[in-house]
Amino acid sequence: ILNDIDVVVFDFDGTIAHTMHIWGKINEEVLSEHGITTDIAKYQTEIAGKQMHDVALFTIDKFGLKVQPEVLMHLWKQKAKIAYKSCPFIGSADTFIKNIHSAGIKVGIATASPTELIESFFEMHPEIRNCIHSVVSCDDVKKNKPDPAVFIECIKLLNGQKAVIFEDSVSGMRGARDSGSKVVGILSDQSQLKEKEDLCDLLVLDYA
């Protein structure tokens, strides 16, 4: 699937790094601190692909919280920055990134997460960060996935002509497909499998 490809773009959470269980725990903690108990798996699906500010607005509206979005965002970032430093890669993602970089293919990240959290993770992996030419957040383009804007901007910054996008969520896969790129689904979460099969050119468990 990488034949004649000059750019590979990755989502981050659940695609490069095993962060989804971290976010489940963080969200459970933050909601609990505000007296809320909910189905975290369902909540995670509802917020997938959204900018953090929009997640905060959604959360405030959904649960009727009497806080400003910035309060939730501060709590999420504070907890995530600590957790990301010990977060592992999705199976062999680090080796895969190094290999495609060595092959002369440009590498980018297109994520709904704030860029500062991505950089926090890569502080522990500078040799992999050096292989990544561009990091674009939904915050930068002011559009949430499944809008393809974050992918299109990342590919544009890399001067890409033909791209493959690696994604793990249905909303991300929709955006990746609508960008006109080939899509590889990473099954770090095997929910919504039929939808993922329909959206992707290829589905894999990891990069091994």
Count of CA atoms in the C-beta half-sphere (13 A) of 12: 28
Residue with tokens 């950089």: 119
Decide if 134 is inside a domain: yes
Statement to judge: residues 123 and 80 lie in one domain: no
Decide if 2 is inside a domain: no
CATH classification at residue 139: 3.40.50.1000
Dihedrals phi, psi of 182, to nearest 5 degrees: -75, 150
Statement to judge: residues 179 and 137 lie in one domain: yes
Statement to judge: residues 103 and 158 lie in one domain: yes
Which residues have a Cβ under 8 Å from the Cβ of 11 and sit 6 or more positions away?
109, 110, 111, 165, 166, 167, 168, 169, 172
Decide if 1 is inside a domain: no
pTM for the whole structure: 0.91
How do the pLDDT tens digits run along the chain, 208 residues long?
A: 888 999 999 999 999 999 988 999 999 999 999 999 999 999 998 998 899 999 999 999 999 999 999 999 999 999 999 999 899 999 999 999 999 999 999 999 999 999 999 999 999 999 999 999 999 999 999 999 999 999 999 999 999 999 999 999 999 999 999 999 999 999 998 889 999 999 999 999 999 8
Statement to judge: residues 169 and 124 lie in one domain: yes
CATH classification at residue 47: 1.10.150
Statement to judge: residues 13 and 34 lie in one domain: no
Statement to judge: residues 66 and 112 lie in one domain: no
Report the domain count for the chain: 2
**Cα radius of gyration rounded to whole Å, the chain:** 16
CA gap 112, 142 in Å, rounded: 10
Give Cα 171 distance to the centre of its chain.
10
Statement to judge: residues 148 and 161 lie in one domain: yes
Statement to judge: residues 73 and 161 lie in one domain: no
Residues spanned by the domain of 154: 7-18+89-204
Give Cα 98 distance to the centre of its chain.
19
Statement to judge: residues 71 and 113 lie in one domain: no
| Last residue of one domain, picked from the residues 59, 84, 109 | 84
Q: Which residues pair with 136 in a beta bridge?
A: 110
CA gap 200, 145 in Å, rounded: 16
pLDDT of residue 2: 86
CA gap 87, 113 in Å, rounded: 15
Statement to judge: residues 77 and 137 lie in one domain: no
